[in-house]
Structures are given as structure tokens and as C-alpha cells.
């Protein structure tokens, strides 16, 4: 009985020590992220985990805005693509007395800055030329020769599109607008399709915002490289792949850029 | 076997004690906001030494030894007074924070503390602190902070750089004002109130209508005090309480609406007050601050109104009842 009691006390003490060790590991990990120049982070300690997370996220948004403002040409940034801060940000939480500490952080490289006007809504003059792949918007370092080729290709495509507009209309008459969109593999492929549909008033679209997006629409997710990852039909809280009708979870597209669109 | 178990027990108990005690060595690291390396190193070193001393004093249950830490006199007196009221320790052995510039001075915020008040009735409590530095990196004040969300809510309403800077200054004073109650710093409070300060305290009284219907309702009645009366009462309260705990929530900063009152700001806070004699109250504190002379910031008006209008705490005071800067006319 005495042995049993001793073992019981021992196990309680060991649990306490292990818990403290775990806490200390989390603290060390948090500090490592805070020190790293690759991340932006924020923390808050509040009565409940929910309050702490909500405040930490709010503070992180402030950090992101400050970081953008501090960048060269920061004032020209029109949009920040961070699919959903709740999904992109990594979270840690731990106890501080009876309160909870929440720490959220995001990798700077996962924040995509969009410069220039009209990325979202096309007007008649723009005719789709503004719909860019993220790889173009993000403008990674390119050698001059590559850059020239890319510029030429964009210019050519616009030119062809303008000259051959009636032909495009005729040739796409047999396929539905959705099929045209589904056929595009990259944002560059998609650009003339959206432009054409827009000119025919067959489509409405805009950048995706989880808070404001309508219940019934399509969502188009694309990667940083400009490849289209999926086109999903949104119906309330249900998401289905527009190609094969399989059920999708929005969490799977964490870190992607996204547009919504509605076909008329 | 029995011996082995005994030794294990002793070892685990020793480890537990080490874990429960505050970790003495604290290292503070500034990661952002300060690009003068020499200044940064000086501030880090000085803050680390201070936090290490705080933890050592907590573990040994002794007074703070702040000699040779290179602190300004204001920091030494403030911290010593605070320590008499409450003992606390830094919850982390490594504190990694960014530095904020406030005019020509600096702040490092979100220093995690656990407070153990001298009274029996209050549990250990999480509280963040802010270390204030002067332009040379010397620690000038160690204050308990407003909570991060309160601070953030006030700061985000600053529309331009000047306003952001003024709001920072106001909150810094509000934090010092709040900490002055925990420190029982009567000198600071005497200095901060202008000689002709208007001090109003409100109490809820139950009034019965005389229309024969027998309906009663709550009414706030106000009592006016001058600065001397208020300070005398405060001294009495400081003397009779071993500790006083003041917390500020829901801070709202409003510029005076009258263009002639440039530099006047109204600060409304929800104040939760408790002391060692078991008294506590919850109400709105309104302070009319005068920032015209930045070296002699003053409070011209202090009012207190109860938060709850009924004993059951179901009916909070109506928003329109809470004092605002426009309610007071100051002779300039």
C-alpha cells in the first residue's frame, strides 16, 4: 500500500515536470519564430483561447499591413493575397495562469502583394489583360531575356485576341462557358477565356473573400505559380469539384489565390 | 528496490520545486524596431538584469535590490513601491519582443508577469508590463500595462502619425496613472491633478416615484470634491489597505470637440477596483487630460460613475449617461 502511494505521488510529480517541459518547448519554439526574419507573428493572452486567438489574428493583420507599408513601393500595393488568415496562419496556444496565450504567425513568402489597379474587376477597356497569374503579379527575379519573352507573349496574346475575336466567338459556340473555363490549366490560359466571356456579358467575377462571397457561385483556386488547382462549385457551406462533382474541403486550398465567378 | 524508489521520489520532488519556482535568469531580446545596435544591447542588458533581479527577489521572498542596475530614480522608486504592494515574477526565461518608439523614448511591451498580491484573497494573476526607456536606453519606468486588445483598439483609431504618437503618449500616462494606485504613489497623483481639478464620484440611489404607483428606479447622485479632499481620502485609503488592485478595461480616447481646447483629451475607462479590506467597485472613470505642456501633463477632471445600475448587476449604465469631454467647461 505504501509502495502504491509512493508510485502515485511520483507519477503526479512526473506529469507536472513533463507538462512544464512541454510548455518550455512551446515557448522556445515561439521565440525561435519571433527571432526569424522569415515570419510575421503576433501574440495575445486573454481569458479564453477563442478571445486570445481572435486578438492575435487581429494583431497579425496589423503586422502584415505594417510590413507591406514598410516595403519599397508599399503604398502602391492594391491587394494582399493571403487566402484566409485563419487557414494560412499557424497557431500555438499555452496557459498563462488561468489565461491562455495564443501565438499566430505567417511566412512572409506566403504573403503575395498585388501592385496596380484593376486586378479584380474587368472593365470594357481592360478586356481581361488585367487578370494575371500570381507568378506574373509577384514578379519573381527574372533574367532580362526571360522577361522579354514573357512580355512578348502577353503582348501577342492580347493582339491575337483583339484581331480574332469573332473567330473565338464562333469556335467556342459549341462549348459551354464552364467547359471553356475548366479547359484552362493556368491563369494565362484563363485570361482570354474570362475576357471573352466578359465581353459577351456571360460572367461576373471578383477576388474571393470568405466574409463577403455569395452562397451560390464557383470558386477558382490557383497556386503561386499561376497553375489552376481547382474549380469548385460553392453551394452554401458545401463545395464540390466542378469537374467530377467530388466533395471538396476549403482547407485543402490554404495558401492559394482565389477568384469567385458566376455564369449568366 | 525500496531505496531506489525513495531516491527517485526525492529527485522528482527536487525537480518539481525547481520547475514551480520562477526561473531566475531572464534574457530579454529586442528583435525589431531599434536599429542602433549599441543602444539595443544596452537596453537588452539592462532589462534582462532587472527581470532577473525581480525573479530572484520573488523566489527568495525579499525586497528588490535595484542598486547597481543603472535605473533612473523614477524607476527605482516606482518599482520599490510596486513591490511593497505586490510580488510578481517574469513568466518566461527568454522574452523576445520588439521595441516601440514613443517620441524620443522607447518602450518594450508585453513582458509576461505572474502577480502574487500580498493579500490572501486574490489568486495569482497574469499581467503584462511595459518597460520604458529614455533616449539613452536607461530604464525610466516599469508599469503594468493595459491589456493588448485595449491598447490596440485605441491605437488603431489614430488617423495620422501625429495622432498615433499622441495616443501612444496618452496611453503611456494612463498606464502610469493606473500603476500609481498599485504603487500607492501619492506624489505622482498629487502632481498629475491640477490644483483646481474637479473630482466627481457617483453613487447609485434607489428613488421611489411619488405618483402612487410604487415604482422605484435607480438614479446616480454625484458628489463633488476638490483636489485636497480627494487626495486626503486617497492617502487614508492607501494607509489602511495592504494592497490595492486597479484594472482598466475598455479604454476610449476622445479629442476635446472644442477647437479652442486643443491638447485636451477625454479618456474613459472601465475601472475595476479592489483592495485588501474586501471593498471592490466597477465603474466608468472619466479623465480629462491636458497635454498642452508635454513636460507638465495634468488631469483637470476626474469622474467616476458606477457600471451597474442595480444590485443584481443586470442593468449597465446607459452610454449617454457616461461623461464625455464636452460635458465640462474649463477656464483657460
Cβ atoms < 10 Å from Cβ of B24: 18
Tell me the chain B residues in contact with residue A59 when contact means C-beta distances shorter than 8 Å: 148, 152
Q: Tell me, yes or no, if A108 comes closer than 8 A to chain B by beta carbon.
A: no
Query: Are A97 and B124 an interchain contact pair (Cβ–Cβ within 8 Å)?
Result: yes
Of A13, A20, A62, the CB nearest to B13: A13
Choosing from B86, B110, B145, the residue where a domain stops is: B145
Per-residue pLDDT band for B155 (boundaries 50, 70, 90) equals: confident
Cβ atoms < 10 Å from Cβ of B290: 19
Query: Are A98 and B126 an interchain contact pair (Cβ–Cβ within 8 Å)?
Result: yes
Query: Are B126 and A17 an interchain contact pair (Cβ–Cβ within 8 Å)?
Result: no
Tell me the chain A residues in contact with residue B19 when contact means C-beta distances shorter than 8 Å: 16-17, 20
φ, ψ at B263 (rounded to 5°): 95, -5
Residue B272: pLDDT over 70 = yes
Tell me what pLDDT residue B216 has: 63
**CA of A260, closest CA in chain B: separation in Å?**
31
Which residue pairs from A123-131 have beta carbons closer than 8 angstroms and sit at least 24 positions apart in sequence?
Answer: A124/A199, A127/A158, A127/A161, A127/A162, A127/A195, A127/A198, A127/A199, A128/A161, A128/A191, A128/A192, A128/A194, A128/A195, A128/A196, A128/A198, A129/A154, A129/A158, A129/A191, A129/A195, A131/A187, A131/A190, A131/A191, A131/A194, A131/A195
CA distance B117 to B97: 26
Query: Are A44 and B92 an interchain contact pair (Cβ–Cβ within 8 Å)?
Result: no
Residue B157: pLDDT over 90 = no
Q: Which of A195, A254, A203 is nearest to A229 (CA)?
A: A254
Residue B127: pLDDT over 60 = yes
Q: Tell me, yes or no, if A16 comes closer than 8 A to chain B by beta carbon.
A: yes
Residue B252's domain spans which residues? 189-327
Q: Which of B298, B287, B291 is nearest to B263 (CA)?
A: B291
Choosing from B145, B171, B206, the residue where a domain stops is: B145
Q: Out of B67-76, B240-249, B319-328, give the one with best mean pLDDT.
A: B67-76
In angstroms, how far is CA A58 from the centroid of its own chain?
A: 17
In a domain, B168, yes or no: no
Q: What is the pLDDT of residues B9-65, one digit of tens each?
A: 555 555 444 445 667 799 999 998 888 999 999 999 999 999 999 999 999 999 999
List C-alpha distances in Å: A232 to A182, A213, B35, B44, B323. 10, 13, 47, 52, 53
Tell me what pLDDT residue B111 has: 95
A224 is written with which cell numbers? Answer: 503561386
Whether residues B39 and B133 fall in one domain:
yes
Of B15, B94, B126, the CB nearest to A97: B126
Q: Tell me, yes or no, if A17 comes closer than 8 A to chain B by beta carbon.
A: yes
Whether residues B129 and B218 fall in one domain:
no
Whether residues B42 and B138 fall in one domain:
yes
Structural contact between residues B72 and B90, judged by C-beta atoms closer than 8 angstroms: no
Q: Helix B2-20 and helix A2-35: axis angle, to 10°?
A: 40
In a domain, B285, yes or no: yes
Query: Are B156 and A28 an interchain contact pair (Cβ–Cβ within 8 Å)?
Result: no
Q: What is the pTM of this model?
A: 0.62
Structural contact between residues A123 and A195, judged by C-beta atoms closer than 8 angstroms: no
Per-residue pLDDT band for B80 (boundaries 50, 70, 90) equals: very high
**Which ranges constitute the DSSP H helices of chain A?**
2-35, 49-70, 85-88, 134-138, 144-163, 165-171, 177-183, 187-199
φ, ψ at B268 (rounded to 5°): -110, 125
User: What structural domains does chain A harbor?
Assistant: 35-116 (3.10.28), 120-135+144-263 (no CATH)
In a domain, B6, yes or no: no
Residues of chain A with pLDDT under 50: 83-84, 86-88, 117-173
Structural contact between residues A239 and A150, judged by C-beta atoms closer than 8 angstroms: no
Q: What is the pLDDT of residues B132-141, one digit of tens each?
A: 999 999 999 9
Percent of chain B at pLDDT exceeding 70: 86
Whether residues B288 and B225 fall in one domain:
yes
Cβ atoms < 10 Å from Cβ of B170: 19
Q: What is the pLDDT of residues B170-204, one digit of tens each?
A: 899 999 999 999 889 999 999 999 998 999 887 77
In the block, which residue shows the cell 475575336?
Answer: A165
Whether residues B140 and B214 fall in one domain:
no
In a domain, B119, yes or no: yes
Q: Which of A13, A57, A69, A93 to mutate to test the interface with B (most CBs of B within 10 A)?
A: A13
In a domain, B194, yes or no: yes
Q: Which of A18, A19, A29, A45 to mutate to test the interface with B (most CBs of B within 10 A)?
A: A45
Query: Are A13 and B125 an interchain contact pair (Cβ–Cβ within 8 Å)?
Result: no
Structural contact between residues B57 and B83, judged by C-beta atoms closer than 8 angstroms: yes
Whether residues B141 and B195 fall in one domain:
no
Tell me what pLDDT residue A118 has: 36
Residue B131: pLDDT over 70 = yes
In a domain, B288, yes or no: yes
A106 is written with which cell numbers? Answer: 505567417
CATH number of domain containing B57: 3.10.450
Nearest residue on chain A to B97, judged by CA atoms? A34
Cβ atoms < 10 Å from Cβ of A59: 19
List C-alpha distances in Å: B34 to A33, A162, B70, B134, B161. 18, 54, 20, 13, 18
Q: What is the pLDDT of residues A9-60, one digit of tens each?
A: 555 555 555 555 666 778 888 899 889 988 888 888 888 888 888 888 888 8
Whether residues B109 and B43 fall in one domain:
yes
Whether residues B287 and B209 fall in one domain:
yes
Tell me the chain B residues in contact with residue A16 when contact means C-beta distances shorter than 8 Å: 16, 19
CA distance A137 to A228: 15
Choosing from B112, B128, B145, the residue where a domain stops is: B145
Q: Mean of the pLDDT values across residues B93-117?
A: 90
Tell me the chain A residues in contact with residue B127 when contact means C-beta distances shorter than 8 Å: none
Tell me what pLDDT residue A92 has: 66
Q: Please tell me the total count of domains within chain B.
A: 2
Whether residues B292 and B230 fall in one domain:
yes
| ipTM associated with this complex | 0.72
In a domain, B184, yes or no: no
Nearest residue on chain B to A8, judged by CA atoms? B9
CA distance B229 to B165: 34
Per-residue pLDDT band for B129 (boundaries 50, 70, 90) equals: very high
Q: Which of A173, A156, A72, A153 is nearest to A115 (CA)?
A: A72
List C-alpha distances in Å: B4 to A3, B9, B316. 12, 9, 62
Torsion of CA B179, B184, B187, B189, to 10 degrees: 50
Tell me what pLDDT residue B119 has: 55
Nearest residue on chain A to B3, judged by CA atoms? A3
Whether residues B134 and B236 fall in one domain:
no
Whether residues B218 and B115 fall in one domain:
no
Amino acid at each position: 500500500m505504501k509502495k502504491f502511494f509512493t508510485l502515485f505521488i511520483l507519477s503526479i510529480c512526473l506529469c507536472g515536470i513533463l507538462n512544464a517541459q512541454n510548455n518550455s518547448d512551446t515557448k522556445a519554439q515561439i521565440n525561435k519564430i519571433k527571432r526569424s526574419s522569415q515570419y510575421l507573428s503576433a501574440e495575445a493572452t486573454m481569458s479564453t483561447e477563442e478571445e486570445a486567438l481572435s486578438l492575435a489574428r487581429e494583431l497579425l493583420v496589423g503586422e502584415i499591413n505594417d510590413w507591406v507599408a514598410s516595403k519599397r513601393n508599399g503604398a502602391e500595393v492594391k491587394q494582399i493575397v493571403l487566402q484566409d488568415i485563419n487557414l494560412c496562419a499557424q497557431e500555438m496556444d499555452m496557459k498563462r495562469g488561468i489565461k491562455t496565450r495564443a501565438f499566430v504567425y505567417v511566412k512572409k513568402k506566403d504573403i503575395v502583394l498585388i501592385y496596380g489597379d484593376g486586378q479584380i474587376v474587368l472593365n470594357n477597356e481592360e478586356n481581361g489583360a488585367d487578370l494575371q497569374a500570381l507568378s506574373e503579379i509577384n514578379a519573381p527575379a527574372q533574367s532580362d531575356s526571360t522577361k522579354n519573352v514573357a512580355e512578348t507573349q502577353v503582348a501577342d496574346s492580347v493582339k491575337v485576341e483583339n484581331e480574332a475575336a469573332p473567330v473565338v466567338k464562333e469556335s467556342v459556340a459549341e462549348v459551354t462557358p464552364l467547359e471553356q473555363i475548366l479547359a484552362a490549366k493556368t491563369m494565362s490560359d484563363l485570361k482570354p477565356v474570362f475576357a471573352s466571356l466578359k465581353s459577351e456579358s456571360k460572367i461576373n467575377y471578383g477576388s474571393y473573400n470568405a466574409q463577403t462571397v455569395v452562397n451560390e457561385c464557383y470558386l477558382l483556386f490557383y497556386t503561386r505559380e499561376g497553375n489552376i488547382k481547382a474549380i469548385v462549385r460553392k453551394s452554401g457551406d458545401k463545395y464540390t469539384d466542378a469537374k467530377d462533382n467530388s466533395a471538396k474541403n476549403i482547407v485543402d486550398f490554404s495558401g492559394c489565390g482565389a477568384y469567385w465567378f458566376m455564369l449568366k | 528496490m525500496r531505496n531506489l524508489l525513495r531516491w527517485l521520489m526525492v529527485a522528482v520532488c527536487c525537480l518539481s520545486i525547481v520547475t514551480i519556482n520562477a526561473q531566475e535568469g531572464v534574457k530579454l531580446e529586442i528583435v525589431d524596431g531599434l536599429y542602433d545596435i549599441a543602444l539595443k544591447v544596452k537596453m537588452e542588458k539592462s532589462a534582462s538584469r532587472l527581470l532577473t533581479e525581480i525573479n530572484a527577489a520573488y523566489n527568495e521572498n525579499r525586497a528588490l535590490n535595484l542598486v547597481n542596475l543603472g535605473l533612473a530614480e523614477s524607476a527605482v522608486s516606482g518599482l520599490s513601491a510596486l513591490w511593497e504592494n505586490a510580488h510578481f515574477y517574469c513568466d518566461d526565461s527568454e522574452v523576445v519582443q520588439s521595441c516601440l518608439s514613443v517620441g524620443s523614448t522607447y518602450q518594450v511591451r508585453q513582458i509576461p508577469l505572474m502577480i502574487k498580491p500580498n493579500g490572501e484573497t486574490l489568486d495569482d494573476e497574469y499581467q503584462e508590463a511595459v518597460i520604458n526607456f529614455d533616449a539613452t536606453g536607461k530604464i525610466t519606468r516599469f508599469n503594468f500595462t493595459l491589456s493588448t486588445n485595449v491598447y490596440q483598439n485605441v491605437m488603431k483609431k489614430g488617423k495620422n502619425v501625429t495622432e498615433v504618437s499622441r495616443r501612444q503618449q496618452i496611453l503611456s500616462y494612463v498606464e502610469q496613472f493606473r500603476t500609481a494606485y498599485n504603487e500607492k504613489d501619492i506624489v505622482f497623483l498629487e502632481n498629475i491633478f491640477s490644483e483646481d481639478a474637479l473630482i466627481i464620484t457617483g453613487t447609485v440611489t434607489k428613488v421611489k416615484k411619488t405618483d402612487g404607483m410604487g415604482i422605484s428606479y435607480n438614479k446616480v447622485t454625484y458628489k463633488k470634491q476638490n483636489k485636497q479632499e480627494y487626495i486626503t481620502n486617497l492617502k487614508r485609503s492607501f494607509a489602511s489597505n495592504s494592497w490595492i488592485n486597479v484594472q482598466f478595461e475598455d479604454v476610449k480616447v476622445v479629442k476635446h470637440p472644442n477647437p479652442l481646447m486643443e491638447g485636451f483629451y477625454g479618456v474613459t475607462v472601465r475601472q475595476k477596483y479592489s483592495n485588501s479590506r474586501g471593498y471592490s467597485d466597477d465603474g466608468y472613470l472619466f479623465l480629462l487630460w491636458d497635454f498642452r505642456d508635454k513636460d507638465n501633463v495634468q488631469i483637470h477632471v476626474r469622474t467616476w460613475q458606477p457600471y451597474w445600475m442595480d444590485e443584481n448587476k443586470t442593468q449597465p449604465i446607459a452610454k449617454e449617461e457616461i461623461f464625455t469631454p464636452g460635458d465640462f467647461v474649463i477656464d483657460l
